[in-house]
C-alpha cells in the first residue's frame, strides 16, 4: 500500500524507535504527527523528517501518562488533519530491574502509566479519527518481554504482556471495520531504553549490549513500515523481531 499522503501519528517520537519511525515513514512521503514529552528533541526529529521527505510534520507535547495531555494532543491532531490513517503506540519503556521484593512504587507506576494505560488512552482518543475500510492501522509496540518473564522484569514483562492482550481485544472489537490492529514485539535493541531503565547509568546500560549485535531503531522502524504498507486486506497481527545473536531473552551470543 502506498503511504504517500497518509497521516501517521507516532507517540514517543523524541528518541529510539519513535524517532527512527518518523524518518522511515517520512521517506514514504506521508504526513507525520509526532508526540513526546521532550519538545526540543521532537523539533530535531521533525527537522530530520522534513529533510527525509515527509509531506508535512507536526509536533506537540504529549505525556501519555495523563488523560488531560492525551486529550489535548488529540484535539491538536484533529486540527492538523481531520483523519489519522496510522496510530503507532510506541511511547513507553522500563524503569528499574529490581526483583519484586525490592520494587519501587514509582517505577511500577511509571511503567503501567506509559506502556499500558498510555496505550489505551491514546487509542481511545484516536479511534474516532481512524477511517474505516481504508487500510487504517493501530500498531502497538510490545516486546519479547511480553512473551516470557525474566528476573527483575515482573512489572515491565507484565505491562508488555498486557499490551499483547489489549492488542488482541482491540483486534476483535474492530473486526469488520477494516481497521487493522497488530503488535510489533522487538527483542534487544540499542536506543535510550537501557539508559532510562538504569536511570542515566551509561556504563550499566552499555553492558547490556556488550559483545552482541543488537537491533537498531532503524531495523525496528523498517518493520513498522513493512507492516503498515501491506495491502489493506492483510493484517500482521503479531511480529517478533530479534537480533540474530538473541535466541531468547537470556540466550545472547557475545563476542569476546
Catalytic residues: 156, 160
The one among 6, 33, 46, 93 contacting ligand NDP by CB under 6 A: 93
Smaller CB separation from ligand 8X3, 73 or 116:
116
Q: Who contacts 226 (Cβ-Cβ below 8 Å, separation ≥6)?
A: none
The one among 3, 12, 59, 162 contacting ligand NDP by CB under 6 A: 12
Q: Who contacts 239 (Cβ-Cβ below 8 Å, separation ≥6)?
A: 182, 183, 184, 185, 223, 227
Return the residue matching grid coordinates 510506541: 90
Q: Taking CB under 6 A as the rule, does residue 146 contact ligand NDP?
A: no
Minimum Å gap between C-beta 208 and ligand 8X3 is 7
Return the residue matching grid coordinates 505525556: 63
Minimum Å gap between C-beta 83 and ligand NDP is 22
Minimum Å gap between C-beta 153 and ligand 8X3 is 6
Cα–Cα distance measured from residue 188 to residue 213, given in angstroms and rounded to the nearest whole number:
9
Binding residues for ligand NDP restricted to 207-226, rule: CB under 6 A: 217
Cα–Cα distance measured from residue 117 to residue 176, given in angstroms and rounded to the nearest whole number:
25
Q: Taking CB under 6 A as the rule, does residue 21 contact ligand NDP?
A: no
Q: Cell for 109?
A: 507506576
The one among 28, 114, 183, 246 contacting ligand NDP by CB under 6 A: 114
Q: Taking CB under 6 A as the rule, does residue 109 contact ligand NDP?
A: no
Q: Taking CB under 6 A as the rule, does residue 14 contact ligand NDP?
A: yes
Up-side HSE of residue 86: CA atoms within 13 Å toward CB?
32
Q: Cell for 60?
A: 506537540
Q: Taking CB under 6 A as the rule, does residue 192 contact ligand NDP?
A: yes
Q: Taking CB under 6 A as the rule, does residue 246 contact ligand NDP?
A: no
Using CB under 6 A as the criterion, which residues of the chain lie in contact with ligand 8X3 when the complex forms?
Answer: 143-145, 153, 187-188, 193, 249
Asked if 255 and 199 touch (Cβ cutoff 8 Å), the reply is no
Amino acid at each position: 500500500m502506498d503511504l504517500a499522503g497518509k497521516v501517521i501519528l507516532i507517540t514517543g517520537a523524541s528518541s529510539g524507535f519513535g524517532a527512527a519511525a518518523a524518518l522511515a515513514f517520512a521517506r514514504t512521503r506521508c504526513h507525520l504527527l509526532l508526540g513526546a514529552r521532550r519538545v526540543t528533541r521532537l523539533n530535531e526529529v521533525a527537522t530530520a523528517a522534513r529533510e527525509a521527505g515527509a509531506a508535512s510534520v507536526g509536533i506537540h507535547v504529549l505525556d501519555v501518562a495523563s488523560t488531560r495531555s492525551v486529550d489535548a494532543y488529540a484535539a491538536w491532531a484533529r486540527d492538523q488533519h481531520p483523519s489519522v490513517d496510522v496510530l503507532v503506540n510506541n511511547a513507553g519503556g522500563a524503569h528499574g530491574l529490581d526483583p519484586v521484593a525490592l520494587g519501587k512504587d514509582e517505577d511500577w507506576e511509571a511503567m503501567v502509566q506509559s506502556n499500558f494505560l498510555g496505550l489505551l488512552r491514546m487509542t481511545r482518543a484516536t479511534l474516532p479519527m481512524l477511517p474505516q475500510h481504508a487500510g487504517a492501522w493501530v500498531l502497538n509496540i510490545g516486546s519479547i518481554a511480553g512473551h516470557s518473564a525474566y528476573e527483575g522484569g515482573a512489572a515491565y514483562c507484565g505491562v508488555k504482556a498486557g499490551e499483547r492482550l489489549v492488542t488482541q481485544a482491540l483486534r476483535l472489537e474492530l473486526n469488520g471495520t477494516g481497521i487493522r490492529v497488530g503488535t510489533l514485539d522487538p527483542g534487544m535493541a540499542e536506543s535510550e531504553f537501557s539508559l532510562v531503565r538504569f536511570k542515566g547509568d551509561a556504563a550499566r546500560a552499555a553492558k547490556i549490549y556488550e559483545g552482541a549485535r543488537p537491533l537498531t531503531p532503524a531495523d525496528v522502524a523498517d518493520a513498522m513500515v513493512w507492516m503498515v504498507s501491506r495491502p489493506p486486506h492483510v493484517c500482521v497481527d503479531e511480529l517478533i523481531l530479534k537480533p540474530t545473536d538473541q535466541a531468547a531473552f537470556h540466550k545472547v551470543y557475545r563476542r569476546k
